[in-house]
A = this chain, B = another copy of it.
Amino acid sequence: MRPVSEQTRVAVLGAGGRMGAAVCDAVRGAADLELVAALHRTDAVSDAVAAGASVAVDFTVPGVTEANVHALVDAGVHAVVGATGWTGESLDRVREHLDGAPGVSVLVAPNFALGAVLAMSFAAQAARWFESAEVVELHHPDKVDAPSGTARHTAAAIAGARAAAGLGVMPDATASGLEGARGADVDGVRVHSVRLRGLVAHEEILLGNPGEQLTVRHDSFDRTSFMPGVLLAVRQAASRPGLTVGLEHLLGLG
């Protein structure tokens, strides 16, 4: 066991939620991290500062998270943020705030599953080399939106890579059939949403050329899959000042 002095002191905001509780467990289970505060929604962010946290993980809710981050930056505490609902404007406000707080870091990530982030990166790296590319996402049937946000981001990344490489429209001779068979159109990339009892969250990217197919698939079986990404962000917080959006920047990918 490492001496206490080497441990990074971590606070968790939104510790009462399912993700927050999982983060608390993960921090407790990591020998190089110490959980110094597990705050619920109604607790003050200053409690994290008072507890001596050097990094705070925020898994609260859209209406609260932005104020939390600004309070943390003011106190010189690095923030790792998993809450959804961030817009370009709210990110701009954090970026500006960080300009006046040298050395402090904020990481905002829509997805902490390493595998999902890698899959999206691989899709973007591969897209320019293939004639065809489609996305199939598969989720439990209680999901209310289709396609998933991850699949839309992936399709948009594929479309961007194709455009940058000067690729045109994908081949598709479909002339007749049933409505919806060819899926949703996201920037010219077809996305198909399967809803199946028993599933959690899965995504498959299919790329095709004459005589070959490349497939990248990510399966999320439960929320423990997010913990390695959260801990990675906590550990890199001190060495990555400023605003970082997306876990992919921590993975040293191409």
Q: Is A4 an interface residue (CB 8 A)?
A: no
CA distance A179 to B85 in the complex (A): 23
Q: Which chain B residue has the least Cβ–Cβ distance from A227? A: B210
Q: Give per-residue flags for A197-223: 1 if the beta carbon is below 8 A from chain B beta carbons, else 0.
A: 111100000111111111111111111
CA distance A211 to B26 in the complex (A): 13
Question: Interface on chain A toward B: helix, strand, loop, or mixed SS?
Answer: mixed
Shortest CB distance A61–B (Å): 19
How many copies the complex holds: the figure is 4
CA distance A251 to B127 in the complex (A): 11
CA distance A213 to B132 in the complex (A): 23
Q: Give per-residue flags for A232-247: 1 if the beta carbon is below 8 A from chain B beta carbons, else 0.
A: 0000000000000000
Whether A214 touches B225, Cβ cut-off 8 Å, given contacts A141-B172, A171-B142, A173-B143, is no
Q: Is A252 an interface residue (CB 8 A)?
A: yes
The chain A residues found within 8 Å of chain B, CB to CB, are 113-116, 118-119, 121-122, 125-126, 129-134, 136, 138, 141-147, 152, 170-186, 190-200, 206-228, 251-254
